[in-house]
């Protein structure tokens, strides 16, 4: 069969699979996949360096379907090119237990690199993958021995490019000169509400040129050769990220729905599917038909992929012989193994030493770890010093200096979070990102996707409460801790001193999922016994100070800066003859994992509890129980000095003691 004929047959197979899968599921997005079929086919069979038999081959090109609603396109390509995704999975598209969910999910489908769906997120995560690739290439490649040399390819949509996160990430990618990014822009001019002329009329090409991108236009959406040539030219452009604009027709081939918004997010309907198949010269039955010629042609990706990987493995063997120490380091980095003695230099904060803010303590710990763990890389959204994430002695990452470990994200919290996720997804690096806790509002989608994908992104949030002082309510987080604690799949630390902070960093670097640090601006005293603190942090909660004689008759629960306040209140109460236990709870999530026996020992049944946290009260009721009390903040803050604002909102010793004594009186009265 002639090349053009087999190409057309393959493309129409993809279109037919998209129609059939969505029609059978009763929901989905057939039109985008139908319009993108030639571009997807060109990329996956002519350009993308991948091995269907080993989707995790280290030097493969990464593929990002930022337009995640077009998931059936990716599933069809995975199936036809020989991945472990049988036709039965396409027939179960969007159904319970299938490996073909409505949007691509990392770890769920072979060959899917990342979880996409929220528009713009995949675009930004792909930028993070490119950062990781360039950094690893600078760290490990040597002249004549290059083991890191791959690109990031993606498909993005009109909707992606409307989202602010994509704009932030595009600006950053252009600034950093990330030439390994090559995105196909599916310019079909259709969204759910109708034509993009209603809300999106800018010249996207000129916008991306202004960002510093290499921009190409492909006028004929069916010209597979031209699409492949544009992709090759993009690969050859190493100084700038590339955007290839392909003018497509949504639901290409459909007599009544081509170019119409009705084909975006719903099945074409049985009648229109039949008419479209007739227009494409496709058999009406059976559904999910794949001609033998198509299987033979597209399964060639298996042999090509195996040859590409074998060539890389031969190069790696030569590299390992020439640079054994580097090769060993490479293997550790990919496996997320920490080097021997990785935490040997972590500082210990001695009791009686000057008080230190946990953001400052975190900075000292981070620098000690970074000196021994070369895979640590990251930065801040223009708050490097304030967040305590300046890597001493390290240079800035850039296109000219990809070996730099300090990433200057700029004032781009949306993109920073997703770029960090992309770096973690790529592997080989241990990325972190930092900003004020209040601006975690900008990063919720990033945190959520980190949790969904269970990637070890580390998010450092400082200025954690009204204790930051005079910046006022716009910068004082209130509801943020409660909101973040409601999210599954993350671990949050709000440490009370330097030693709790140090242990939290140790735990974060040994986890597979995302970790959040919530750190103080104000200085906090050192709590005491380091080993007790370390053991307690690992359990999420522990006794900082107990009743001096006999069983406690009151338990004070606190996190972060309020632990030292609880200790001050305990001292006052003990002077008045009250037996008080203080419990620090740096991580609710880790405490939740403890056995019932530990929790019963920590929080004795029948003993009243008073919690103290300068944040919203939501969630504390489960810890204090029906008879307990909560000192919290269920209103916005104010602009004032740290000392004044904390006192006026009830976070001072006198108020805590008064509430504790009132709780004890109620408890005794109820017992009579």
Q: Two tokens at 382?
A: 């223009």
Rounded to whole angstroms, the Cα distance separating 542 from 521 reads 24
Rounded to whole angstroms, the Cα distance separating 453 from 15 reads 29
Decide yes or no: CATH 3.40.50.10470 for domain 3-306.
Answer: no
Residue that the structure tokens 């200057």 belong to:
408
The predicted-structure confidence for 426-447, as pLDDT tens digits, reads as follows: 999 999 999 999 999 999 999 9
Beta-bridge partners for 582: 545, 556
**500 an active-site residue?**
no
When pLDDT is cut at 50, 70 and 90, the band that residue 280 belongs to is: very high
Q: What is the pLDDT of residue 3?
A: 86
Q: Two tokens at 521?
A: 């601006």
Cα within 13 Å of Cα(84), Cβ side: 8
1, pLDDT greater than 80 = no
Q: What is the mean pLDDT of residues 226-239?
A: 98
Spatial CA neighbour of 246 closest among 189, 193, 163, 295: 189
Domain layout of the chain by residue ranges:
3-306, 356-524, 541-671
What is the secondary structure of 258-313 as a DSSP string? TT-GGGTSS---HHHHHHHHHHTT--SSSTT---HHHHHHHTHHHHHHHHHHHHHH
Rounded to whole angstroms, the Cα distance separating 6 from 583 reads 70
Rounded to whole angstroms, the Cα distance separating 463 from 469 reads 9
Q: What is the pLDDT of residue 523?
A: 97
Strand 609-612's sheet: what is its strand order? 542-545, 580-584, 554-558, 609-612, 629-631
- Asked whether the whole model's pTM tops 0.85, one would answer yes
Contact 557, 583 (CB under 8 A): yes
4, pLDDT greater than 90 = no
- Which residue is catalytic, options 89, 163, 226, 413? 413
Contact 47, 232 (CB under 8 A): yes
Rounded to whole angstroms, the Cα distance separating 509 from 374 reads 13
The torsion of the CA quartet 96, 20, 222, 250, rounded to 10 degrees, works out to -70
Do the domains 356-524 and 3-306 match in fold? Answer: yes
Q: What is the pLDDT of residue 71?
A: 98
Rounded to whole angstroms, the Cα distance separating 96 from 520 reads 44
The predicted-structure confidence for 346-389, as pLDDT tens digits, reads as follows: 999 999 899 999 999 999 999 999 999 999 999 999 999 999 99
Question: What b/e readout covers 311-329, taking b as 16+ CB neighbours within 10 angstroms?
Answer: ebeebbeebbeebeebbeb
Residues 6 or more apart whose Cβ sits within 8 Å of residue 13 = 76, 80, 289, 290, 291, 294
The predicted-structure confidence for 89-114, as pLDDT tens digits, reads as follows: 999 999 999 999 999 999 999 999 99
396, pLDDT greater than 90 = yes
Contact 167, 123 (CB under 8 A): no
Give the CATH number of domain 356-524; options: 3.40.50.970, 3.30.70.640, 1.10.10.10, 2.60.40.3950: 3.40.50.970
Exposed, middle or buried: residue 440 (CB in 10 Å: 0-12, 13-18, 19+)? buried
When pLDDT is cut at 50, 70 and 90, the band that residue 672 belongs to is: confident
671, pLDDT greater than 90 = no
Query: Helix count (H) and strand count (E) of the chain?
Result: 26, 20
Residue that the structure tokens 């700038």 belong to:
240
Contact 578, 664 (CB under 8 A): yes
The mean pLDDT value of the chain amounts to: 97
The predicted-structure confidence for 454-476, as pLDDT tens digits, reads as follows: 999 999 999 999 999 899 999 99
Q: Two tokens at 661?
A: 């004594």
The predicted-structure confidence for 53-78, as pLDDT tens digits, reads as follows: 999 999 999 999 999 999 999 999 99
Angle between helices 444-453 and 121-140 (to 10 degrees): 70
Q: What is the pLDDT of residue 632?
A: 98
Contact 660, 578 (CB under 8 A): yes
Q: What are phi and psi of 229, to 5 degrees?
A: -65, -40
Topology of domain 541-671, CATH: Rossmann fold (3.40.50)
Spatial CA neighbour of 603 closest among 618, 620, 615, 617: 620
Q: What is the pLDDT of residue 528?
A: 85
Q: What is the pLDDT of residue 296?
A: 97
Q: What is the pLDDT of residue 313?
A: 98
When pLDDT is cut at 50, 70 and 90, the band that residue 173 belongs to is: very high
């Amino acid at each position: 069969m002639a090349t053009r004929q087999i190409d057309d047959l393959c493309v129409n197979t993809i279109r037919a699979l998209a129609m059939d899968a969505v029609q059978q599921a009763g929901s989905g997005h057939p039109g985008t996949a139908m319009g993108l079929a030639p571009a997807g086919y060109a990329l996956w069979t002519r350009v993308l360096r991948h091995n269907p038999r080993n989707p995790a081959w280290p030097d493969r090109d990464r593929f990002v379907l930022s337009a995640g609603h077009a998931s059936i396109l990716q599933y069809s390509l995975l199936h036809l090119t020989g991945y472990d995704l049988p036709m039965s999975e396409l027939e179960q598209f969007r159904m319970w237990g299938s490996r073909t969910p409505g949007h691509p999910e990392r770890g769920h489908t072979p060959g899917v690199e990342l979880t996409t769906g929220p528009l713009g997120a995949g675009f930004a995560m792909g930028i993070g993958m490119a950062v990781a690739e360039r950094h690893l290439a600078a760290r490990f490649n040597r002249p004549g021995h290059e083991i890191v040399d791959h690109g990031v390819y993606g498909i993005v949509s009109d909707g992606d490019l409307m989202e602010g996160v994509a704009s932030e990430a595009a600006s950053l990618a252009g600034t950093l000169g990330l030439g390994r990014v090559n995105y196909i822009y599916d310019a079909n001019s259709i969204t759910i509400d109708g034509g993009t002329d209603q809300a999106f009329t800018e010249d996207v090409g000129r916008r991306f040129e202004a960002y510093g991108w290499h921009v190409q236009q492909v006028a004929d959406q069916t010209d597979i050769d031209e699409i492949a040539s544009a992709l090759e030219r993009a690969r050859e452009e190493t100084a700038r990220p590339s955007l290839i604009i392909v003018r497509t027709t949504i639901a290409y081939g459909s007599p009544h729905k081509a170019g119409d918004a009705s084909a975006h997010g719903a099945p074409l309907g049985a009648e229109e599917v039949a008419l479209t198949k007739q227009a494409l010269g496709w058999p009406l039955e059976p559904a999910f038909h794949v001609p033998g010629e198509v299987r033979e042609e597209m399964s060639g990706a298996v042999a090509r992929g195996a040859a590409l990987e074998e060539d890389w493995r031969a190069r790696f063997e030569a590299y390992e012989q020439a640079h054994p120490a580097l090769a060993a380091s490479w293997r550790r980095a990919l496996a997320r193994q920490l080097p021997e003695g990785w935490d040997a230099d972590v500082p210990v904060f001695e009791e009686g030493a000057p008080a230190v803010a946990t953001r400052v303590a975190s900075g000292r710990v981070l620098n000690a770890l970074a000196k021994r763990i070369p895979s640590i890389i990251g930065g801040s959204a223009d708050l490097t010093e304030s967040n305590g994430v300046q890597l001493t002695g390290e240079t800035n990452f850039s296109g000219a200096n990809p070996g730099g470990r300090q990433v200057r994200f700029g004032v781009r919290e949306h993109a920073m979070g997703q770029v960090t996720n992309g770096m973690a997804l790529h592997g080989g690096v241990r990325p972190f990102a930092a900003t004020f806790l209040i601006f975690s509002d900008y990063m919720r989608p990033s945190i959520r996707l980190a949790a969904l994908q269970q990637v070890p992104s580390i998010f450092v949030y400082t200025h954690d409460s009204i204790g930051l002082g005079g910046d006022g309510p716009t910068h004082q987080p209130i509801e943020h801790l409660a909101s973040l604690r409601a999210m599954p799949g993350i671990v949050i630390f709000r440490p009370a001193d330097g030693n709790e902070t140090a242990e939290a960093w140790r735990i974060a670097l040994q986890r597979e999922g995302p970790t959040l640090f919530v750190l103080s601006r104000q200085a906090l005293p050192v709590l005491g016994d380091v080993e007790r603190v370390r053991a307690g942090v690992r359990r999420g909660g522990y006794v900082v100070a107990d009743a001096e004689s006999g069983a406690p008759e009151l338990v004070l629960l606190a996190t972060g800066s309020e632990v030292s306040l609880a200790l001050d209140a305990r001292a006052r109460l003990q002077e008045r003859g009250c037996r008080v236990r203080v419990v620090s709870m740096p991580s609710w999530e880790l405490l939740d994992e403890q056995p019932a026996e530990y929790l019963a020992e920590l929080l004795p049944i029948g003993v009243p509890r008073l919690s103290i946290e300068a944040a919203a009260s939501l969630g504390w009721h489960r810890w204090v129980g029906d008879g307990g009390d909560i000192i919290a903040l269920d209103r916005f803050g104010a602009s004032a000095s740290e000392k004044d604002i904390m006192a006026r909102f009830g976070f001072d010793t006198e108020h805590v003691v008064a509430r504790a004594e009132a709780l004890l009186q109620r408890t005794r009265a109820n017992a009579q």
